[in-house]
Amino acid sequence: MYLTIIILPLLSSIVSGFFGRKVGVTGSHLIACVSVVLTTILSVISFLEVGINNISVYIKLFTWIDSESLNVSWGFVFDSLTVSMLIPVLIVSSLVHIYSIGYMSHDPHNQRFFSYLSLFTFMMIILVTSNNYLLMFVGWEGVGVCSYLLVSFWFTRIAANQSSISAFLTNRVGDCFLTIGMFAILWSFGNIDYSTVFSIAPLMNENIITIIGICLLIGAMAKSSQVGLHVWLPMAMEGPTPVSALIHAATMVTAGVYLLMRSSPLIEYSNTVLLLCLWIGAITTVFSSLIGLFQQDIKKVIAYSTMSQLGMMVVAIGLSSYNVALFHLVNHAFYKALLFLGAGAVIHAVSDNQDFRKYGGLKAFLPLTYSVMLIASLSLVAFPFMTGFYSKDFILESAYGQFYFSSTVVYFISTIGAMFTTLYSVKVLYLTFLTNPNGPIVNYKHAHEGDIFMSMPLIILAVFSIFFGYVTKDMFIGLGSNFFQDNSLFIHPSHEIMLDTEFAVPTFFKILPLIFTISLSIISIIISEFTPKALINFKLSRFGYNIFSFFNQRFLIEMFYNRYVTDLVLKLGGQTTKVLDKGSIELVGPFGLEKALLNLSTNISKLDTGVITSYALYILVGLTFYIVLPLFYELDNSLLLIILFALVTIKKSIPCIIKSYLSGNIKYVNHCGVSCTTKHINCYKYNCNKRYMQGYKLYKFSYRAFSTTVSHSNNSSFNISRRNLSLNSFNGKFTYKVLIEEAGYIHITVSLGYLLGITIPYYSEAAGFENSLADYFYYTLSGPFIIKFNYMGSEVHSLYIYEGFDLSGLVDRIHSELWDFHFSDEDYVRILNPDIELIFIRFPADKNNVSNNIIDSYDHVDCTTVSENQAYKQSLIDILEYDKKSQKKKNKLKLWYYLQ
């Protein structure tokens, strides 16, 4: 019987997946539903046999891993915890299978869908029935893969694919820590079997247990969507609604809580792990409730309510109330599955629209759906005598009943979360069923209840949502219950608080959540019914808009992850691929080896010249080497050092001839002011003080090709281009000095990583400012830039421009401020950014004022120092100078490069 529970869903998945064409759609429906229903019946029998009679069942199929240090069997355990988990998993799974017959009736891929559902059920059974951590990890990964397949079932929808990838990758974070925890268990305990680990745990060091417990907790946080690793759960609502009901209500999201409950004999010996569980669960509860209150998608609201209830379960684990956590898990599975399936019925009735603001008035069209969603919502808000009331309120009472500071604070935080849960539950019910119709009329023309396959699961789950908590309360959390006598759940005697919770908590704090639930429900309905304009005005106000926009962005957590995690990981991956995989590894790997061998063979082949004298030279070199080599063994070390020093000194004194790629002359200025003009540069400089030759290193940098177009106002223009100039150890800035000798303006276009086009006017008596500066700033500057205007030797205006900022709206103001200025030789406008610096020096119209002293002052620059205050002392200075010596060649410009 117990093996049948495990095998039947797997067989159903295989038949539907591999033989779907043979059995057809109806055959696939029949096989999948019958298999899961039979499995459910057998699980109920096992619940009565194992749970009621306290008879645990252990099954070992075969030895999986048998080595000297590790022995793992493929075995299963059916104890009270296992059979309690099987009840919600299989009941909800069987009802979802039946519901899907009606919901997916028009989908062309029914066989694939039912194969995935059955496979997911099988993996979930493996997870909860395994008797060791490794086999549990197989089921853990299996439900993750099935979740990916089911969320992206409609694979033509981009959002569905993105959501499935997000869920898969987020769960990989938790899986990584869970794997580390399992390795730590294996290293510490020598085995990963439950019975071995739990029996040795009391004897282990608390620090080791804390490390293991934290790793298991992070794994559970990812799977159970706790705050920080929660981003995947709301996005997973892109899948079909039956998938949301099965995976995100009763099964996969509870796997993390199950892991912590199964590990209770381990984490009970670490107060740190329990405290972390307490606070993480409380923060998740209020965090998800706040976000859910501002959502407009009916399925996402229910998803955030799932997060809130999972936080409640983790709070119960932090309080060591594992039986209460399990009780709430089972109860929650029924009413949350009912909420999801009811939402699916609504979506199915209104042409797949999920925005409940466009519903309204559906009570008259969907009375059954309204009734069951009302029952589920009442159970969710812990209305008295509903299923959720018996477990949810008991968790809050347990928090207060521990009588510690942390637990008391958590009680009030969780109560606030319960208040918000009430508000968004009333909001969904009111806007969907009770308010006036807000959607298009076409939605109401075809609105109808689902068929028998969609209605029957709703009725069954509604019955469970009303009566299950009352029937099983004494079994799970009763004071005299011996349901967990088999120690499947372990509570340390010092952490036992059941009696305090039952008898020591004041009545006021017991009924405080109930008071908030009822009062907020009534108040919210009254405000919505009688003062709707007040709500609208509040939302349209500045304060209300800020509140709604902030919470709609979900505390900006997704933005933080995208900007500071995802982008960094992608950039790291890209750089790793570029530098390692396609860089150094290629260089020293096959590509580099191939290139080296080709070069070697080419060089060797060149030795075969066919000239006898060459062969004689080879013989002479070889003979010399043969004679001289033994002498090196007899040389003294000091003599070798002298020879090496001499070689290095000679090498440093050899001038390195650098070929110029520049048009025109190149002027090199050394330290003493001695200049040379040549198309080749002797790469050394003479130090006047030291009186010896000092080797000069020309550094390299590499920038993309750059061109400069210089146009005078008489429409004559000259192109000055430069190929890749290389100069390492470069400070990243260019300085351009424009010396203007006639009326008009100079137009400069620079392309150097940035696009900067700007026309620079300058003042003259003849031209003046004939046009607004807006006529000259014709490109948007890519920044950031600092634009500085200097007049009479002092800065008169400074303007900061950020990236992509359009200057057209600011230049008129700049123009008005500079209109009456008469510039002298020392006035300039400077535009700076981190990669390029342009200095435009303005001169009067009279070219006689451009004295030789100004131009000659650049001929003897001390290039050994760089001053930040004097912009012309840079690593590279480009001077566009009017050539006074070439008056016959009209308007010819020469490009001078000063190399430091």
For 447, the token pair is: 């609105």
Task: Report the percentage of the chain scoring pLDDT > 90.
Answer: 34
Where are the strands (E) in 670-779, listed by range? Answer: 675-678, 680-682, 684-686, 693-695, 706-711, 717-722, 735-738, 745-752, 754-761
> Model confidence over 351-361: pLDDT tens digits?
778 888 888 88
Domain ranges of the chain: 2-552, 706-899
CA distance 162 to 152: 8
Residue 550: name the closest of 810, 800, 290, 366 by CA: 290
| pLDDT exceeds cutoff 60 at 758 | no
The mean per-residue pLDDT over the stretch 40-64 comes to 90
> Model confidence over 552-605: pLDDT tens digits?
888 888 888 888 888 888 888 888 888 888 888 888 888 888 888 898 898 888
- Cβ atoms of 730 and 873 within 8 Å: the answer is no
For 434, the token pair is: 């009770």
pLDDT of residue 235: 86
| Gap between the terminal Cα atoms of the chain | 88
Residue 40: name the closest of 1, 81, 79, 80 by CA: 1
Largest CA distance in the chain: 114
> Model confidence over 430-463: pLDDT tens digits?
989 888 888 788 878 878 888 899 999 999 999 9
Task: Report the percentage of the chain scoring pLDDT > 70.
Answer: 70
Conformation bin of residue 705: beta by default, left when phi > 0, alpha when psi is -120 to 50:
beta
| pLDDT exceeds cutoff 60 at 777 | no
CA distance 838 to 756: 10
Residue 293: name the closest of 420, 416, 452, 477 by CA: 420
The mean per-residue pLDDT over the stretch 690-708 comes to 27
Mean pLDDT of the chain: 73
Return all residues near 432 (Cβ < 8 A) that are at least 6 apart.
298, 346, 356, 359, 360, 362, 373
pLDDT of residue 813: 45
| pLDDT exceeds cutoff 60 at 656 | no
pLDDT of residue 828: 46
The mean per-residue pLDDT over the stretch 14-24 comes to 90
Burial class (CB in 10 A: 0-12, 13-18, 19+), 679: exposed
pLDDT of residue 500: 79
- For every residue of 818-887, which 3-state class applies, written as one string? HCCCCCCCCCEEEEECCCCEEEEECCCCCHHHCCHHHHHCCCCCCCCCCCCCCCCCCCEEEEEEECHHHC
Q: Report how far apart, in Å, the C-alpha atoms of 887 and of each of 395, 582, 891, 893 are.
A: 95, 55, 8, 11
Residue 316: name the closest of 388, 260, 387 by CA: 260
> Model confidence over 53-102: pLDDT tens digits?
888 899 999 888 888 778 888 999 999 999 999 999 999 999 999 999 98
| pLDDT exceeds cutoff 70 at 753 | no
| pLDDT exceeds cutoff 50 at 864 | no
pLDDT of residue 682: 34
| pLDDT exceeds cutoff 80 at 386 | yes
pLDDT of residue 309: 93
For 66, the token pair is: 């048998």
- Cβ atoms of 167 and 151 within 8 Å: the answer is yes
- Cβ atoms of 142 and 126 within 8 Å: the answer is yes
The mean per-residue pLDDT over the stretch 672-682 comes to 35
Other Cβ atoms less than 10 A from the Cβ of 556: the count is 10
> Model confidence over 186-210: pLDDT tens digits?
999 988 999 999 999 999 999 999 9
pLDDT of residue 54: 82
Confidence category of residue 643, pLDDT binned at 50, 70, 90:
low
Q: List the single range of 92-96, 531-535, 662-666 with lowest mean pLDDT.
A: 662-666
Residue 839: name the closest of 709, 736, 711 by CA: 736
| pLDDT exceeds cutoff 50 at 714 | no
For 78, list phi and psi in degrees, rounded to 5.
-115, 95
Name the 3-class secondary structure at 793: coil
The mean per-residue pLDDT over the stretch 40-55 comes to 90
Q: List the single range of 102-111, 806-815, 886-895 with lowest mean pLDDT.
A: 886-895
Q: Which residues of 129-158 are buried (b: 16+ CB within 10 A; e: fewer)?
A: bbbbbbbbbebbbbbbebbbbbbbbeeeee
| pLDDT exceeds cutoff 90 at 31 | yes
Name the 3-class secondary structure at 725: coil
CA distance 412 to 774: 62
| pLDDT exceeds cutoff 50 at 156 | yes
pLDDT of residue 762: 34
Q: Any idea of the CA torsion for 806, 812, 818, 823, to the nearest 10 degrees?
A: 70
> Model confidence over 831-845: pLDDT tens digits?
443 333 333 333 333
> Model confidence over 210-267: pLDDT tens digits?
999 999 999 999 999 899 898 888 888 888 889 988 887 778 899 999 999 999 999 9
- Cα 72 to chain centroid distance, Å, stands at 36
- For every residue of 61-112, which 3-state class applies, written as one string? EEEEEECCCCEEEEEEEECHHHHHHHHHHHHHHHHHHHHHHHHCCCCCCHHH
Confidence category of residue 795, pLDDT binned at 50, 70, 90:
low
> Model confidence over 337-354: pLDDT tens digits?
999 999 988 988 887 788
